[in-house]
Every structure is written in structure tokens, then in C-alpha cells.
Amino acid sequence: MRQKEILLNIQPLKTPDDDSDDHFMSSFETPLRPDAFELDDEVKIERIEKHFREIMTILGLDLTDDSLNGTPRRVAKMYVKEVFSGLNPKNRPHARLFENKYNYDQMLVEKDITFYSHCEHHFVPIYGKAHVAYFSAGKVIGLSKINRIVQYFSKRPQVQERLTVQIGKEIERVLHTQDVGVVVDANHMCVASRGVGDTNSKTGTAYFSGKFKDENIKREFLNYINAK
């Protein structure tokens, strides 16, 4: 193990192929170390800044240039405060529930929720649309909170399959319902900007529970999200 890895307490991951795009997902939970949140955000930013500066130096970039000098700090803040902020459970949305006073017993759909995430294999963007639906079990949730749930789980290194399941299970947990449908359509920059270089393909994943396993209800949901 290299000295840098000892200092960071990082164990190199072993996979069948280090350059592979295959998705090795052992759990719907994001893999985190037990001590993931022992450091506060400012310490994390300082350490990431230091190591990213070293990466840029190894690449041969001149960090005395005005355009590059502040990049390590900007990247570190972006990682901790923005694009990977969903790793920290303190940022989990607190959803307020309301009584279903209208006795609305039909499907509720929030579609075309834009999200931005990062592929955990190459740390390049995944972006697309999420479509979420549920049947009330007595409570309803503010529509913006569904968007916030999608954003929370997106803002971490991800694979699309895990992201889809995490959204679905969180909606179930928050609303105390087993009737949830989630469809995610996404573009993967690890496919478009490197490797095979395919800029046209998209990836689709789905999570269905309870009533959404019924083919008629599933078809109603899919028809709605595909309607112009």
C-alpha cells in the first residue's frame, strides 16, 4: 500500500477489472466507512484541496497560473458542499406529511425531475430525469419534497440501479406506503465522453412495489410519464 493511502486510511478496492463499467452493487445502501463523518466539512475540504493540488501537479499543470491556482479549493468545496453532499445524513430531507383530507385514492405522479449525479466508477456525471409515483396510505407529501429526495440520493457517487432503489425505498419509508413506482432515464458521461464514446444512448431503470407490480397500474404510470 502506498504512503498516501495509509495517511488517508483508504483500502484499494479490488474488482474483476479496474477499468470495467460493470455495476458491482452488493446493497442498495451507499458503501460508506463507519468513520465517514468523524471529520467536519472544513477539514475534509482542506484535505481534498491538498490532494487534488497534488493530482494537478502530477498531471503537469502550472498551479501558479491565475486560472488554475484556485481550482483545488474550488473542487474540494464542490465535492463536500455540493455534488457529494448527499453522502452526509444531516442533509437528508425532512419531509412534512399531511393528512389525505381529500381521500384521494388514485396514483399521484411527479415526473421529469431533473437530477445530476456522478458515476462511482469514474467520477464523471450522470444526469437525467426521474419519475416518481405513489398511492397514499393516509398521508401525502409536499411535491417539492419528492424532488428533494431525488436530489439527496443523486448527490453522491452512484450507480443508476442503486439510485433508483434508494429513491423508491425512501418514498416508502417517508410515506409509510408500499405502493411506489420510480423510473429513471439517464445519460452517462462515462459512456459518452470516454470508453465507447456513445453520445446517443440512455439508460433506463425502474423500481415497482405494491400496486405498481400490477401490470395495468404499471402501464398507466408508464403511459403517463411517456405522454407529451
Residue the block writes with cell 477499468: 19
Q: What is the DSSP string of 102-152?
A: T---S-EEEEEEEEEEEETTT--EEEEEEEEEE--SSEEE-HHHHHHHHHH
Cα(167)–Cα(153) distance, rounded to whole angstroms? 7
- Asked whether the beta carbons of 114 and 146 are under 8 A apart, the reply is no
Residue the block writes with cell 417517508: 174
List, by residue number, the catalytic residues: 119-122, 160, 188, 190
E runs forming strands in the chain? 97-99, 108-119, 125-134, 139-141, 157-158, 180-188, 203-208
75: helix, coil or strand?
A: helix
